[in-house]
Structure 1
Amino acid sequence: MSATTAKANPTGVAKPVRLIALLLMLAGLVMVAAGAVTWFTVQSQLADERITVSEDADWFAGDKIDGPLTAYSEAQVIEKHALEASKGKTYAELDREDPVRATVMNGSFLRASLFTSVVSFGIAAMAMGLGVVIALIGYALFLVARRLAAAPEPAV
């Protein structure tokens, strides 16, 4: 093999780099779209329940629950109310015959549902953020591919 054939050919490298760049940009855009759809679906479903944050909440009292912060705030209030009703005992600590046990159980279920929505918002935000990062990496590679394609052939 001669020295000239062993050298890298920039235009030959540019095509695969461009393809990878386009795939990364597409993947990033899909992640942003999927995250946004997830965020707005969870937000819509929470809003459809017409729940408001309890008046004795530390934050967002009286606000409509339609986002991660209001959902978290209401979950904290539900815990406070359940612990007050059970005199500080959790569901597992209450006797099976205790009539308060059903109230504490319902509170636990409601809190779990609200925390599930909080986690869903977080995952949606993470997907959108990572989508932006991946799309930007793809764009940077696309610019590199353009430079490689425009580079002169190496001298023999």
Structure 2
Amino acid sequence: MATQVIVLNGGSSSGKTGISRCLQAILPTPWLSLSVDDLVDALPPAVLSDSSGITFGDEGEVEVGAGFRELETAWMTGIAAMARAGARIILDDVFLSGAESQQRVRRQLDGLEILWVGVRCDAEIAAGREIARGDRTGGMAASQAELVHQGVVYDLEVDTGKAESLTCARTIAAEVS
């Protein structure tokens, strides 16, 4: 069966979005790129400030509550429906709960052919990117650099601290069937 979903998991500022854009440019068929950032950007302001939603601490910590999880489940159900309808999806995510997060995504995408990709980046490099971006809470990249990979099982891993996004995308594309 052909790959229907590519899941890119990595910490903030690890290079997932750059890889996703490169994949869209080099894969021979059209792929939709969706990110957890798209979900967060779509949330109403109340969910961004309520403890049942998602909150961002001064040191880069991210806390998610039941309200966010409910919306995340609906979001993932929609992504799975698009893939089942024939869209190929690149999902750019941050597994804040490591293996538990992967299991949540796996349940939502059950029955689909998934390529699981770990996007690694040295915490110091990611922190530098975070500063350059200017749109992230300081400390988020460093705190997530290893946390998001704990217990997660991948088909493939790439390291954007050692290779450019296009090189990483070519490595991933070679594994897409």
Structure (1/2) with the larger helix percentage: 1
Which band: TM-score by shorter chain? under 0.3
Q: Which has the larger radius of gyration?
A: 1
Task: State the TM-score, normalized to the length of structure 1.
Answer: 0.23
Structure (1/2) with the larger strand percentage: 2
Task: State the TM-score, normalized to the length of structure 2.
Answer: 0.22
